[in-house]
């Protein structure tokens, strides 16, 4: 797995009839493995993700990495994209597209 950024500042993405320039504000790449919030409030999906740290010398701690807010439409798109990524990753190697 790579931490390389695939889409960088200066690239343009078509949004409807307009070109939108991507501005990368140097968001950190973080590994998350814990939900600290998952709820819907007034048709806004609220997700907060964190990283769980456990070692023998200390009590477990969860560092909140990001708090996401999105409308239901985008949440459905995210659900579809994650579903496709996971499905592709779980296919046997000989069934993956080139």
- Does pLDDT of 7 surpass 70? no
Mean pLDDT, the chain, whole residue set = 88
Lowest mean pLDDT among 43-47, 49-53, 81-85, 92-96: 92-96
pLDDT of 9 reads 77
Can you tell me the distance from the alpha carbon of 71 to that of 78, in angstroms, rounded to the nearest whole number?
Answer: 11
Query: Who wins on pLDDT, 36 or 91?
Result: 36
For residue range 22-45, list pLDDT tens digits in order.
Answer: 888 888 888 999 999 999 999 999
Q: Kindly report whether the global pTM for this prediction surpasses the value 0.85.
A: no
**Which CA distances in Å does 72 have to 1, 30, 35, 46?**
30, 24, 18, 10
């Amino acid at each position: 797995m790579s931490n390389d950024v695939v889409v960088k500042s200066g690239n343009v993405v078509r949004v409807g009839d307009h070109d939108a320039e991507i501005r990368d504000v140097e968001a950190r790449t973080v590994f998350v493995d814990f939900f600290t919030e998952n709820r819907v409030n007034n048709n806004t999906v609220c997700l907060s993700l964190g990283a769980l740290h456990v070692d023998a010398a200390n009590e477990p701690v969860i560092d909140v990495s990001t708090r996401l807010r999105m409308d239901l439409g985008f949440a459905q798109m995210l659900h579809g994209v994650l579903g496709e990524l996971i499905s592709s990753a779980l296919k046997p190697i000989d069934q993956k597209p080139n």
